[in-house]
Structure 1
Amino acid sequence: MRGRPLIPFAVIAIVGLLLITVLSFVGLNQRDAMQEDEDGNGGEEVTEFDDPVAAGEEMAQQSCIGCHGGDLSGAGSNPDLTNLDLTHDEVVDVILNGQGAMPSMTDNEVEADAIAQYIMTLNE
């Protein structure tokens, strides 16, 4: 081989390292944005909902259907949420603290109350 065969490899290595560095910073920014999305409202504390049942339905559709089925009537070993023998406060407690294999869904009491209100409308 004639010339300097290491120069193209060195250029590729430098470009690769620069690309890794840039993508790392992009990833950090995306992680922060995803964390804000996970918090639901950019980290602001929810104090109340205009329509808690509608808000609870929306949150239940996002969080509960994966395990309890699309109509929340249970799936596999996961219980039917449309036929619960629990009080509103007990449902809020399960949402906040989990029960059995179910993890806690939120640590926000206002959100838990809205989801519980929606679930209780399914049990009427």
Structure 2
Amino acid sequence: MHRGKGMKFVGDSRVPATREKFIPKDYSEYPGKTEPFWPNFLLKEWLVGAVFLIGFLTLTIVAPSPLEKEADPTDAAYIPLPDWYFLFLYQFLKYDFASGDYVVIGTVVIPGLAFGALLLAPFLDKGKGRRPHQRPIAVSMMLIGVISIIWLTYEAVAHVNWEERAEMGKIVEEVEIDQTDPGYEIYSNQSCINCHGGNLEGSPAGPTLVGTGLTADEIADIAVNGVGGMPAGQFNGSDEELQQLAEFIASYSEEGGH
């Protein structure tokens, strides 16, 4: 007699053999449909996990996470961004109905309803079918969630000036500034130090002047005519002082300065 043929499995003598819904199936009648947990099933799980781990490690080596300068709590101009997998929540909190006076709705109520709906999905749709059209409630809720996350993430990425962010978070090599240079005295007296810092490192009011790549003539033109958020007429000294200031700053325009 074949293994399992003609046998009835009853786990408890109090369960009548005629009540078949309490009797486990005999999987020996379905060759290839089942396998032992050890080592067959567990070995497959380990292999899949190893492939994922190798792929993840390769990704971290090929495309390492970008680093930014040391965090400065006094830098009010810096706009922090969450990791990419939280960008959809970051974008969601920009809308009027989820921010300001309604921030509790955006941070607690709506996310709570969304995650609660996902948890209740198996109980709201008890269909036995496995095809998408046989599970309309569960499939609809999942599609709404996926589409919302993709759209909000796209909106967050599309409205970020990535070049400006890279410049804000750029790691600037610290250089030793020669404060005995006559140009530094002009730099201080002309109030350049208020916006660009005592070591030309920059501040929320003005960018760093180290490693800009600008020539002395370009720096002199900016000091007189302004650029970007810097208005014209900031320099009010003589032409000789302007030249000294421009040459002093230009000496640090290359990476590493002097």
Superposed counterparts of 1:1-124, under 5 Å:
54-62=181-189, 63-103=191-231, 104-106=234-236, 108-123=238-253, 124=257
CA–CA separation in structure 1 for the residues paired with 2:205 and 2:187: 18
Indicate the structure (1 or 2) with the bigger Cα radius of gyration. Answer: 2
CA–CA separation in structure 2 for the residues paired with 1:116 and 1:99: 15
Number of residue-to-residue matches in the alignment: 72
Normalization by structure 2: what TM-score?
0.26
Pairwise CA RMSD: 2.0
Normalization by structure 1: what TM-score?
0.50
CA–CA separation in structure 2 for the residues paired with 1:106 and 1:97: 11
Runs of 4+ in structure 1 off by over 4 angstroms are none
What's 1:35 paired with?
A: none
1:28-55 residue CA offsets vs partner (Å, 9 max, x unmatched): xxxxxxxxxxxxxxxxxxxxxxxxx822
Identical positions, percent: 36
Unaligned runs of 5+ residues in structure 1 are 1-52
Relative contact order (alpha carbons < 8 A, sep ≥ 6): 1 or 2 greater?
Answer: 1
1:69-106 residue CA offsets vs partner (Å, 9 max, x unmatched): 12111101511111212111100101122222223312
Look up the equivalent residue of 2:221 and give its one-letter code.
D
Q: As a proportion of its length, which structure holds more helix?
A: 1
CA–CA separation in structure 2 for the residues paired with 1:108 and 1:97: 15
CA shift in 2, pair 1:102/1:90, >3 Å: same
Unaligned runs of 5+ residues in structure 2 are 1-179
Shift of 1:119: 0.5
Q: Is the 8 A contact 2:195 2:202 kept in 1?
A: yes
